[in-house]
Amino acid sequence: MASHAHDHEQCISEALGSAERVCAQRGARLTPLRKRVLELIWESHEAMKAYDLLDRLGQEGGSAKPPTVYRALDFLLAQGLVHRIESENAYVGCRHPERTHEFQLLICDGCRHVEEIAVSGVTEALGKHAKKQGFTVTSQTVEIHGQCPSCRDSA
């Protein structure tokens, strides 16, 4: 896992640039609220819950209501701009929104840092095992909980 210390402003700028390109290519509308929600998600590499986003928007003087934030998150998910962390009912920015891809999430239980990795073949292997059991996979999220190097070293 990469070090937590890096230029978050660059991450945010790159994520917003990718989002604008993806939405333009797909004819999808990246409204100011959707863009701001995405920006808030990218401000750190920690999982963000909808109500955390709502609180942040409220602190900025916004009047967003829960349905508005959930609609923005649904849009960002549909466009592949964020991933939903099922185990925490939270969201994290997608590193490769321009393409459909396999991904797994490394989630630090200490600092809540989330790192997206892409180990090829995981989705296919799990799908094959599910099929052997007669199970039809409709969606799949691989979440790996543990400790990042920073939390492990400080323990």
Strand partners, 82: 93
Is 23 marked as a binding-site residue?
Answer: no
Name the 3-class secondary structure at 50.
helix
- Among residues 53, 123, 43, 55, the alpha carbon closest in space to that of 90 is found at 53
Is 151 marked as a binding-site residue?
Answer: yes
On the CB side of 29, CA atoms within 13 Å amount to: 4
Is 108 marked as a binding-site residue?
Answer: yes
Give the gyration radius of the chain's Cα atoms: 16
DSSP label at 79? T
Q: Which stretches does DSSP call E strand in 19-63?
A: 48-49
Is the CB of residue 45 less than 8 Å from the CB of residue 92?
yes
Is 111 marked as a binding-site residue?
Answer: yes
Give the annotated binding-site residues: 108, 111, 148, 151
Give the annotated binding-site residues for Zn(2+): 108, 111, 148, 151
